[in-house]
Structure 1
């Protein structure tokens, strides 16, 4: 699922796991991420028809495949895209030399997030037209989408209270590079038998598109050089600003059982710069234009007819442009997991357990939820973690989410000296035909880690 990083969550060998739970376990004294390479994440998913469903070269008629796609999807089906790129990051322990029970982490990352719901009534109207749908109400609220490009500067504090309990918080400053959202649309469209013409087209609309950061980049006076400068400025906290926080904890129930949880992105962005909004509101009745096409002589030509329709539509539908400031709320995310470790580390020399050597295996369940415009999206993951040998760990996951009930993922973290590399991907069963995949996800990164503990 978009924004769900079920393989990375709880993978404490990788420093970026603290971004998902600031109260997670810390297994290094300090680290720094290789700039622009420490965390790269891309996820694309759809709950409806795929590209393959419509464009597959399978001998079936394209119009029939398009029709099946439109009617099989629901208005709550959606397309989501999420991308993250870590610009820089680091972390270090603080405290007395004999314990160092506190950890500070920091960084800056860029994120793009898009979600768009399938506008089913719009699609049916476009496909069938209104002549075969007299007296049918088409919902204007079916259009629901938002997109944002932001940068996030963050500082986290992690505290090991005792051997059983660790908590953490992370403060965030959001800088919006650009934003567009249209999520509160209302109204309807209906065609009825007319009095002055064949049909009356009745519109009851309350539609709005809010934008910030777009006009200066796409307007008449924009050019590539100034646009690039503006984007760089906004990336480093020069855009529309907001505040937020993450909070999380880890609690060791006993030697082998552990629970943890985190709440991310509780915050907002206030859009005050480069704001431009577009609104259509009101009740309209369009009676159409009576065609009078004479074979010869004077009269209304086809071009005149369509020009008159265009003029009347422009008169009926007045788009109001406003510059009202607005606030967007970040999509809050919840993670909760329970974990069981087993398989104590043994010494090959004496064939005995190594004191405080830790466990080599872990299994667990993780619940993920993210707040979305129409309804929360949930995912449940079962996982198996294994320390293969010193410097190499792997985690396999099986996830039930909005996209599929058979999401199998795998992640590997490897250390060569102090250099750490990790790569993670899920939905392996769908990679045999990526065009038919409901979702694909990839994460990878490079870090320099100092004094990486094995417990």
Structure 2
């Protein structure tokens, strides 16, 4: 049982989903690129996304040991590989999940009312975000036990978990001030579906030689878990229909609410060089409904239970012995349950890039460059950062974009991040009679062995677009 628990910890903390969308960022042929930079370039007069199909995003990555490291048929003893995996990973390795599904979206130019260079976009999407840091001390304790670690202090602050499922209603405004500067802002209303977090834990556990028994187990703990929207879901009286109804209500702004915003800009330095940047999800959610918080705080000493197994059979049985241990633990640790309101902050994301465009389109009639400033190629360097409970996560991307011909564009990226030093991605956007389809994936080099892959990502969607320029 101990090895099963340990294996679950190691395997789960080997997988990580990232929110970085380096392939979509700056891909202005796709309307959803405005969700990453509300101040980005707009290339359509209006669009609407196909409901539930306009943007689907999932991304998996790996820090530390991979599944292949543990289960590979390489002749190395499984216990040895499991031990190597535990000791090779650090307390900053994390297991995180991020998934997004766009429910509906749309956008249109305001040229008929406010001017030709303004654009309004809107939509509703669902997002799941989860992160749990690798509890290295607990993993070592599960692997080796405390008998071989007498006097060693195991830290409780390794326990660090945050999870939420939310829906986001948003409205964005984009304005091209002049040929050199464009800015945008997006307002957001968050609706909490489920929230669980335990990120500020402290304390330690140590085993020493005892006086009344073989060992004394000493705990100094300050642990807290906060939950919102979970109590009703695990209620014994809830059936599947009521749970689905409750979740649907919360997704449609019926849960705990919060506010946030995105800002972005694009600065055209000259005809070929440009700078852009965006700051996303600067916001919070105030949790006031269906709250259950749990807290354990204080110093505890557990001396164990003296087993009495006489030969006559009149003493304590093994079942009674373990029952006494369970009762003693329940009596020892005083779990406080409260309904205190709390606030969570969204993980803030930063994007910035320097871009260079080149290669004007050749006019087939005169065999010369088109007079319009439409370049067929673009390359650049992009920085990405996201705030996380322990430390920000960073990524650096080098990209190349190419317009192959009217209605077909491709983008390839090379990304360095905490999960991989060789992440190569490819994205494509195609327009056919007003229907836009895009698909993007990365880390192609590691698809030969998915179990040993450091990260794999997928984005796809369908939109109906009316383009400003039918070039």
TM interval, short-chain normalised: over 0.9
Q: Which residue of 2 aligns with 1:401?
A: 417
Matched, 1:142 2:158: yes
Distance 1:454 1:51, change over 3 A: farther
Matched, 1:75 2:91: yes
Q: Which residue of 2 aligns with 1:188?
A: 204
Within 5 A, what are the aligned runs for 1:186-225? 186-225=202-241
Tell me, which stretches of 5 or more residues in structure 1 are unaligned?
none
Matched, 1:410 2:426: yes
Distance of 1:453 and 1:341 partners within structure 2: 18
Matched, 1:158 2:166: no
Contact 1:174 1:241 in 2 (8 A): yes
Which residue of the other structure, out of 375, 384, 403, is the alignment partner of 1:368?
384
Q: Which residue of 1 aligns with 2:309?
A: 293
> How far did residue 357 of structure 1 move?
4.7
> How far did residue 199 of structure 1 move?
1.1
Deviations 1:129-171 (A, max 9, x none): 1011011010000011111110000000001100110000000
Q: Which residue of 1 aligns with 2:188?
A: 172
Contact 2:271 2:373 in 1 (8 A): no
Which 4+ stretches in 1 moved above 3 angstroms?
A: 96-99
Matched, 1:258 2:274: yes
Matched, 1:439 2:439: no
The alignment covers a number of residue pairs equal to 455
Q: Which residue of 1 aligns with 2:143?
A: 127
TM-score (norm 2): 0.95
Matched, 1:389 2:440: no
Q: Which residue of 1 aligns with 2:360?
A: 344
Contact 1:116 1:145 in 2 (8 A): yes
Q: Which residue of 2 aligns with 1:380?
A: 396
Tell me, which stretches of 5 or more residues in structure 2 are unaligned?
1-16
> How far did residue 61 of structure 1 move?
2.3
Deviates more, 1:293-302 or 1:192-201: 293-302
Distance of 2:198 and 2:325 partners within structure 1: 27
Distance of 2:97 and 2:273 partners within structure 1: 35
> How far did residue 389 of structure 1 move?
0.5
Q: Which residue of 2 aligns with 1:19?
A: 35
TM-score (norm 1): 0.98
Contact 1:140 1:185 in 2 (8 A): yes
Distance of 1:55 and 1:325 partners within structure 2: 44
Distance of 1:107 and 1:134 partners within structure 2: 57
Matched, 1:84 2:100: yes
Distance of 1:365 and 1:47 partners within structure 2: 24
Deviates more, 1:169-178 or 1:67-76: 67-76
Q: Which residue of 2 aligns with 1:34?
A: 50
> How far did residue 55 of structure 1 move?
2.2
> How far did residue 392 of structure 1 move?
0.3
Contact 2:413 2:426 in 1 (8 A): yes
Deviates more, 1:234-243 or 1:61-70: 61-70
RMSD of aligned alpha carbons: 1.3
Distance of 1:145 and 1:46 partners within structure 2: 17
